Chain A
Amino acid sequence: MKNIVWLAFLLVIVSCPAWAALGQYEGSISLDKQALKSEDQVRAFPAYKVHQLTTTHGVTVREYVSAQGLVFGVSWGGRFMPDLHQLLGNYVNNVQSASASETHIRHLRGITIKTSDFVFTNFGHMQSWAGSAYVPSMIPANVTAEVVR
Chain B
Amino acid sequence: MNFRRRAVNNLMFFFLFLTGALVLTSCGGGSSTTTTTTTTTPAANNSVDLTVGFGPNGQAGGYINGVFTTVTICQAGTSTCTDVPNVLVDTGSVGLRVLSSAISSLTLSAIKDTSGDALQECIQYGDTSFSWGPVLLADVKLGGETAASLPIQSIGGNTFAVPSSNCLTMPVNPALPNNGNEDTVAALGSNGILGIGDGIWDCGTGCANVSTGSTYSGYPYYICPSGSCEEIGVPTSDQAANPVAAFSSSDKNGVIITLPAVPSNGTTSVTGTLTFGIATQSNNALGSQTIFGVDACGDLPTVTYNSQQYTDTACTSNTGTGGLGAIFDTGSNALYVLDATTLSPLGISDCTATGYYCVTGGGTATISNIALLGYNSVGSGTVSVNIGDATTLLNANPTFAAYNNLGSDSGSGPSTDFFDFGLPFFLGKTIYISIGGQTVSGVSNAPNGFVAF
Contact = CB atoms under 8 A, between A and B. Distances in A.
Nearest to B315: A128
Contact of A77 (B175, B195, B322, B352): B322
B175 A126 contact: no
A22 interface: no
B189 A107 contact: yes
Interface stretch (B74-82, B139-147, B323-331): B323-331
A84 B336 contact: no
B218 A82 contact: yes
Contacts of B409: 104, 112
Interface string A96-119: 111111011111111111100001
Given A79-B297, A125-B92, A106 B412 contact: no
A145 interface: yes
Contacts of B414: 146
Contacts, number: 208
A147 interface: yes
Contact of A130 (B93, B324, B352): B324
B127 A111 contact: yes
Contact of B320 (A77, A79, A119): A77
B410 A105 contact: no
B219 A77 contact: no
Contact of B333 (A84, A85, A107): A107
A29 interface: no
A81 B173 contact: no
B126 A122 contact: yes
B331 A83 contact: no
Give the size category of A's interface with B: 35 or more
B322 A58 contact: no
A70 interface: no
A105 B92 contact: no
Contact of B327 (A36, A57, A125): A125
A122 B170 contact: yes
A129 interface: yes
B218 A109 contact: no
A147 B412 contact: no
A4 to B, nearest CB: 36
A149 B94 CA distance: 27
A109 B332 contact: yes
Nearest to B123: A126
B428 interface: no
A139 interface: no
B124 A81 contact: yes
A95 interface: yes
Contacts of A96: 171-174
A97 B447 CA distance: 44
Contacts of A100: 175
Contact of B313 (A61, A77, A124): A77
Interface stretch (B106-114, B198-206, B283-291, B371-379): B198-206
A25 interface: no
A130 B63 CA distance: 24
B321 A95 contact: no
Contacts of B297: 79, 127-128
A81 to B, nearest CB: 4
A101 B298 CA distance: 33
A103 B415 contact: no
Nearest to B172: A96
- Chain B CB count within 10 A is highest, among A57, A106, A125, for A125
B420 interface: yes
Interface string B289-327: 000000001110000000000001111011011111001
- Chain B CB count within 10 A is highest, among A61, A82, A103, for A103
A66 interface: no
A85 B126 contact: no
- Chain B CB count within 10 A is highest, among A75, A82, A111, for A111
A100 B333 CA distance: 20
Contact of A106 (B216, B321, B336, B413): B336
B313 A109 contact: no
B127 A105 contact: yes
Given A105-B175, A128-B299, A77 B321 contact: yes
A71 to B, nearest CB: 15
B217 interface: yes
The 3 closest A-B pairs by CB, nearest first: A77-B314, A77-B321, A149-B415
12 contacts: A54-B318, A60-B317, A75-B322, A77-B322, A81-B217, A106-B332, A106-B336, A109-B127, A123-B420, A131-B416, A148-B415, A149-B415
